[in-house]
Amino acid sequence: MTQATSYDKLKGAISQAYPDLSGQLQRIARFALERPNEFALGTVAVIAEAVQVQPSSLIRFANALEYKGFSEMQQVFRGNLVERSTSYRERIDQLRRQDRPGSKGGSLHQFVGEAIAELGNLEETVRAVDVMTAVKLMCGADRVYVLAQRRAFPVACYLSYALSHLDIKAYLLDGAGGMLSEALKNITARDALIVTSFRSYSQPVIDAAGLAHEQGVSVIAITDSALSPLKPFARVSFEVGSTVDQPFRSLVAPLCLAQALVVTAGHHLAEASIKSASTSQSKSRTKPKKTTSARNGVAP
């Protein structure tokens, strides 16, 4: 492993090294990816206290990623923070710290603030190229299967409902009656599977993604972290993030992403249809007309 010089490469390096790290270092890895701003700006002591590890563990974490010390690795996080403009998330986090229990708005004010923060983070982290890659996989597949369980289930319901209104054969895998494994047998390499799961991850969803990947199926994952167990199986992985320390975690960001995928798919199919019709008309105009070599017995 070589030392990562950019934030994106460092995220990839952390994901790659994560399975082989000790329990303490894995906690640091999750904190770094889930709360990169605090990781960028905090002191060793403050971060160690937040993660509940010894300060020396942060140094060992940096060493495991080929950095000489923690400050050298932290510079990569700070560089990423400088490149970004002040996000909604940072502003809302600041407002939340100023709020007190019983303040005006109560729970509604808190949930709205968290939702705005999530949407700001979503806009910054999801790349347009990944959205288009996922859309092309969905539109090019014979069938699109959608799977999620527990808290993520509404995302799968919406995707199957909305995609069915396009020229896409979409099927919701709800696992009713314990028939999930049987339903998965119908998926072929010409199909696509959209899976959604967040911490704590649903094991049946992880198993389904792994099985589909082995069968050559294009897997699209909507999850919350670069450390998600869904990511290794996915052709495209969207990491929408989440406030994992909150008892009620919002679905605003993944549902917004799902809507964006559906609308983009609709535009893509419409453009493809217009292009196909234009090509057919062009060929019709340029097709040579048959001529009569002789008429009434007289050679031309």
In the chain, which residues fall in CATH 1.10.10.10? 7-83
**CATH code that applies to domain 7-83:** 1.10.10.10
Query: Over 60: is that where the pLDDT of 299 sits?
Result: no
| pLDDT of 51 strictly over 60 | yes
- Is the CATH number 3.30.300.30 carried by domain 126-266? no
| 152-190 per-position pLDDT tens digit | 999 999 999 999 999 899 999 988 778 888 888 889 999
Give the pLDDT of residue 96: 55
Write the pLDDT tens digit of every residue in 76-98: 888 877 665 445 455 555 555 55
pLDDT at 93: 58
CA distance linking residue 97 with residue 179, whole number of Å: 46
Q: What are the φ and ψ backbone dihedral angles of 4, each rounded to 5 degrees?
A: -80, 135
Q: Tell me the pLDDT tens digit for each residue of 255-276.
A: 999 999 999 999 999 988 888 7
The percentage of the chain sitting over the pLDDT mark of 90, rounded to a whole number, equals 41
Distinct helix (H) and strand (E) counts, the chain? 13, 5
Q: pLDDT at residue 235 above 80?
A: yes
Within the chain, all domains assigned CATH 3.40.50.10490 are found at 126-266
User: By C-alpha distance, which of 30, 28, 50, 41 is closest to 74?
Assistant: 41
